[in-house]
Structure 1
Amino acid sequence: MDKDERNRILTSSKLLKAREDSPEPWVDPYSDMSSDEKSKLLCELMAIHLRDEKRNEELMGKIDELLEGNRQISDLKAMLLELENRDKAKDSLIANQSKKITSLEEVIRLNNAHTYVSKSQKRKPKKTEDDDHTKNKDDFDGTQDSLAPPSASSETTADKPDVESESHEKEVRLYRQGKEYRTMTADKSISHECDITKLPEGAIIIKRTRRYSYEQVSSIIEHDYEVIRYKTADGIIRDGYFPLDGAPEIMDVVPGTHASSTFMAYLAFNKYVLDTPLYREISRILDEDMRLSRMTLTNWLEKGSFHINRMIGVLKECCLEKDSIINCDEIWCRVQVKGAYRKRYIWCLVNKSEKIVIYCYEDGSRGRDVLRHILGDHAIKALQSDGYNVYMYLDDNLIDIEHVCCMAHARAKLKYALEQGGDIDVAFFLDCIGELYVLEAEYEHGRLSPEQIRLCRNNLKTNEIIIRLRSKLDALLSEGHPSRGDLMEKALRYLNAFWTQLFAYTHDGSYTIDNSIAERFIRPLAGERKNSLFFGSGKMAGVSAAYHTIISTCKMQGVPVLQYLKEFFKQIVLGRTDYENLLPMTIGITNNKH
């Protein structure tokens, strides 16, 4: 603080102190006015006050009116907002109802298609005008002018010489020339020659030919084996069969039954290959004058499956050997449990390279524990399946096993969306997937090695198709896209959720693009379910799985099923237990594939 500022403050302080000590006297400002003037001034002041109060009241009234108007405006806004919310709720309800109606229509069309239309997923080519032979039928009035002009394609076809068909016919004729064409053969052949001495007198032989007829002999023979119980020199009591000369060397009886090895083979073949229910098998046996109950046949099949199950253990080890590629699927069946019919599941494992098929009942469960138990500690390379969530166990826990999903399942969902929903975007996906299948067919027809297939699956052409698919999928799943039907929505979600697994087949040339091989081996169980309706117990469901394992493996190996069953039960009757040598590929039956 400088000196001048300090002096100024001290001066101000002294002035204030002086005013406090000696205040100025009060002076009346109206002292020079008369009483009348003062009265008039008071009246004017009162009038002004009254006018101000009136004006204030008017202002307050207007303020109240404004406030009341604001309240009404607020009420109107609230009513409008409520009406807007109601309209939005109504529109949302209408949209949901419309979506439900569309979904129901899709389901109805899908059911009708499954009921009345072919279930084939092959895309039919669009019908062109040239394909419609009845299009111009109603336009023809009998004159030459009313005839439709021939198309270019028809002229080309008419003018083109049929060179290919001619060469094909010549090839067929050359193939048959001087040869006798026969496709029918039998296991045994009996020749019946003519006695030329019985010809009419003077007859001359012009030509000798053969005529064939086939007779099926079916009969059930009862073999009565005499069994002698005897006591050895060391005091041991035994039973024995001691055949006479020319009699069977052993008793041909499958352990635990009264059936021979041949009878058991035919019984299993009829039941699990021809899908003949046991009550029909009983009818056939009754016509051959044999009496037995359905439960007896059931028990015999169960006894036979005991030895098959012992062999399946060996077969499973071959199927799930290290670095194997397994195709897996499951199918439902009806099983009688405590007097009620329950839905249970049978699993199917296919090893394409080893040509082995395994069916597992596993108490009918479809849960994750079943898959964990089936795979066990086997270090397989990959497992291919559909998009069932249980198989996510492979991605979550068994990261060493590559999970490959089935492209055919994704395509089927898109195909249903096209047929029932009519979504125009589906055709793009189907065309791209169709291109991938065309490439796979080229690899197969070219007999490429797995390494060559892997390189082809990762070339520029395949990657372009996959990129187009991904770009279209991202565009359809983006926000703001128009609403679509439930079938299309499900197809897109499936394709997006299993994208990595669907295209994992490109990682190895030994992988397949779809799981069709497992689907094919599921069909025999579907046929049995249709004919026999249900299993009487979980045990018989396991028996069915055991027999189908052997039957399907025989088909994969090209081994005649009936011949194998006869040989297998014959070896069991002989007492063999070396099951590793009784497999379809090791029992010694010649492959019937040419």
Structure 2
Amino acid sequence: LDYAHQERFGDRRQKIQSKAKTSDSDRRKEKDDYDGTDDTLRTDSVGHVPSQELKEPSGKDRDLSNRPDGYKTMGVAGEATEHPSDLTKVPGRIIERRMVRVFSFRTFLTEECFEMVHYAEPGKKPKWGYFPSEGHPEVVTSFEGTRATPEFLQAIAYEVYVKNVTFGLLHQWLTDMGMTISKNTLRNWLKKGKTYLDELVCVLKSIALEKDSIVNCDETWCKVRKYDHYKKCYMWVLVNKAERLVIFFYEDGSRGRDVLTNFLGDAELKALMSDGYNAYVFIGDELKTHRYKDTDHQVCLAHVRAKFVKARMEGGDKRADVFLGNINRLFRFEREYDREMITDGERTRRRQGLPTMEAIINLRANLLQELKSEEEQKSCYMREALNYLHKFWNEAFTYIKDGRYPISNNLAERAVRPFTTKRKNSLHFGSDEGAEIAAVYHSIISTVKLQGRSAWDYLGKFFTGIFNGCRDFLSLTPQNIDLAVCQ
């Protein structure tokens, strides 16, 4: 019990290092030896800190190099609504006036009814029309094919695909606000918005797969309901860093090679980055001699590093440290290039310079040496890492050919992360159609985020533009949405 108290509260004998002496001083011994005379008074264990008044200046100025130029203040974009005081009601002399900022958030649902008139002009067929009275909206504000306004469609799309709210929770929220609606109706409204987003995704795909483009691709699993059972299916993602485009695609939940080749079509890509599994299973050596023979196939070096990390941490093989040291060195070079913001040409020259080549040569020498060593001395994780590096050696170091080539597939991994978050919340899709709708919405939202824009603002502008008759989808892309002209 005494030992437990020492571990929890510390030893009673508090020992500190004296500044004047190198030996430890015992506070209890100092107190016991003191008999009231000055000769026995010892204060070695007490830290004598000079007061602020007696503290001598250090002679060094305060470092202000990290102080920001300005500070972000709390506020809302746009003009604030001001509510001035009625000065005639002030009972005394006015000393000073100032505005006090208050933030309010109003969320409410309203139901609007537009009177439609069925009329017939002479010599023409009868038709329905809306003729607004003074002070009322000029047009019916419901989105075509739904009973929702563009703003309402913007809200439910943002809730489901940005905030990852399930349809059940969204339906509960609307019900609590007094709205009577079914979950299938909400899905149908999003499906109606998808018909226009499909056209936009086709435009983005044509831009992402332009000639000599450099793309990253990856895939992740999702659970989809198939009739009376659930099946593990796969969602694919392709990222074009130069154009800042992200496109998700889904083909009956398949993970086969045809999914990727059908999506790429006859695109003449300069380079395609993936992990080793996708490169081996979905790209294959035969494709290098067929449609994509002129495309450089890259394998993510971060995946190679992860294999050796696993061999070191789980396998306990210290020989993995040599490989990790050289791979970390290559990644350190890339971070230095990013901080210096060098051009692609300069990056190519440095990648092919002596420091990079020295690390690659060391990796190759150690790889050949370990492959020749006895198998019994290696853990299964180490053998897996060595075989992985040996199999994809050329693809892993293709990045040194061009400064525009990525060193890892982290761009696609980060792009697919919001989808995996939704997978944890929603658990499964009710059908293949639900997965396809999610792919389209995630393509648009991820592209908007990659371009540093607001997903909320873009969805609102897009649906409003479609409602107002704009069908020029090239002008409705995230980078051109502000230039879109509505008809």
Where on the TM-score scale, by shorter chain, does this alignment land: which range? 0.7 to 0.9
**Residues 161 and 552 from structure 1, CA distance in 2 versus in 1: closer, same or farther, beyond 3 angstroms?**
farther
Q: How far apart, CA to CA, are the structure 2 residues paired with 1:360 and 1:342?
A: 17
Q: How far apart, CA to CA, are the structure 2 residues paired with 1:488 and 1:277?
A: 42
Larger Rg: 1
Residues 518-569 of structure 1 show CA distances to partners (whole Å, capped at 9, x for unaligned) of: 1111001001101111000000100000001111111122222111111111
**Residues 161 and 442 from structure 1, CA distance in 2 versus in 1: closer, same or farther, beyond 3 angstroms?**
farther
Q: How far apart, CA to CA, are the structure 2 residues paired with 1:164 and 1:468?
A: 47
Contact 1:564 1:589 in 2 (8 A): no
User: What is the DSSP-based 3-state SS (H/G/I as helix, E as strand, rest coil) of the residue aligned with 1:366?
Assistant: coil
- 1:146 corresponds to 2:146: no
Q: How far apart, CA to CA, are the structure 2 residues paired with 1:474 and 1:258?
A: 67
Residue 315 of structure 1, CA deviation:
1.2
- 1:451 corresponds to 2:348: no
Q: How far apart, CA to CA, are the structure 2 residues paired with 1:396 and 1:480?
A: 36
Residue 146 of structure 1, CA deviation:
2.6
Q: How far apart, CA to CA, are the structure 1 residues paired with 2:259 and 2:57?
A: 63
Q: Find the partner of 1:304 among 193, 196, 216.
A: 193
Within 5 Å, give how 1:424-573 maps onto structure 2: 424-480=318-374, 482-573=376-467
User: What is the DSSP-based 3-state SS (H/G/I as helix, E as strand, rest coil) of the residue aligned with 1:415?
Assistant: helix
State the match for 2:63 in structure 1. Answer: 166
Q: Amino acid of the residue matched to residue 460 of structure 1?
A: L
Residues 166-220 of structure 1 show CA distances to partners (whole Å, capped at 9, x for unaligned) of: 3348x56xx57xxx9623225552212234444453x561x44432211111111
**Residues 413 and 565 from structure 1, CA distance in 2 versus in 1: closer, same or farther, beyond 3 angstroms?**
same
Contact 1:230 1:237 in 2 (8 A): yes
Q: How far apart, CA to CA, are the structure 2 residues paired with 1:399 and 1:181?
A: 51
State the match for 2:243 in structure 1. Answer: 354
Q: Find the partner of 1:320 among 209, 218, 227.
A: 209
Within 5 Å, give how 1:12-91 maps onto structure 2: none
Contact 2:475 2:483 in 1 (8 A): no
Q: How far apart, CA to CA, are the structure 1 residues paired with 2:145 and 2:17?
A: 84
Q: How far apart, CA to CA, are the structure 2 residues paired with 1:191 and 1:511?
A: 52
User: What is the DSSP-based 3-state SS (H/G/I as helix, E as strand, rest coil) of the residue aligned with 2:144?
Assistant: coil
Q: Amino acid of the residue matched to residue 312 of structure 2?
A: L
Residue 400 of structure 1, CA deviation:
1.2
Q: Give unmatched runs, 5+ long, in structure 2.
A: 1-7, 26-55
Q: Find the partner of 1:390 among 267, 271, 282.
A: 282
Q: Give unmatched runs, 5+ long, in structure 1.
A: 1-133, 148-158
Q: How far apart, CA to CA, are the structure 2 residues paired with 1:385 and 1:483?
A: 31
User: What is the DSSP-based 3-state SS (H/G/I as helix, E as strand, rest coil) of the residue aligned with 1:418?
Assistant: helix
**Residues 161 and 237 from structure 1, CA distance in 2 versus in 1: closer, same or farther, beyond 3 angstroms?**
farther
Q: How far apart, CA to CA, are the structure 2 residues paired with 1:552 and 1:249?
A: 35
Contact 1:559 1:589 in 2 (8 A): no
TM-score (norm 2): 0.84
Contact 1:271 1:278 in 2 (8 A): yes
State the match for 1:585 in structure 2. Answer: 479
**Residues 315 and 421 from structure 1, CA distance in 2 versus in 1: closer, same or farther, beyond 3 angstroms?**
same
Q: How far apart, CA to CA, are the structure 2 residues paired with 1:163 and 1:223?
A: 69
State the match for 1:43 in structure 2. Answer: none
Q: How far apart, CA to CA, are the structure 2 residues paired with 1:354 and 1:500?
A: 27
Residues 77-108 of structure 1 show CA distances to partners (whole Å, capped at 9, x for unaligned) of: xxxxxxxxxxxxxxxxxxxxxxxxxxxxxxxx
Query: Sequence identity, in percent?
Result: 37
**Residues 445 and 143 from structure 1, CA distance in 2 versus in 1: closer, same or farther, beyond 3 angstroms?**
closer
State the match for 1:415 in structure 2. Answer: 309
Q: Find the partner of 1:230 among 119, 124, 141.
A: 119
Q: How far apart, CA to CA, are the structure 1 residues paired with 2:444 and 2:175?
A: 28
Q: Amino acid of the residue matched to residue 447 of structure 2?
A: T
Residue 236 of structure 1, CA deviation:
1.8
Q: Amino acid of the residue matched to residue 501 of structure 1?
A: E
Q: How far apart, CA to CA, are the structure 1 residues paired with 2:411 and 2:62?
A: 36
Q: Amino acid of the residue matched to residue 184 of structure 1?
A: G
Larger helix percent: 1
**Residues 287 and 162 from structure 1, CA distance in 2 versus in 1: closer, same or farther, beyond 3 angstroms?**
farther
Which range is displaced more, 332-341 or 415-424?
415-424
State the match for 1:270 in structure 2. Answer: 159
TM-score (norm 1): 0.69
**Residues 468 and 288 from structure 1, CA distance in 2 versus in 1: closer, same or farther, beyond 3 angstroms?**
same
Q: How far apart, CA to CA, are the structure 1 residues paired with 2:455 and 2:57?
A: 49
Which range is displaced more, 366-375 or 414-423?
414-423
Q: How far apart, CA to CA, are the structure 1 residues paired with 2:421 and 2:356?
A: 38
State the match for 2:47 in structure 1. Answer: none
**Residues 537 and 164 from structure 1, CA distance in 2 versus in 1: closer, same or farther, beyond 3 angstroms?**
farther
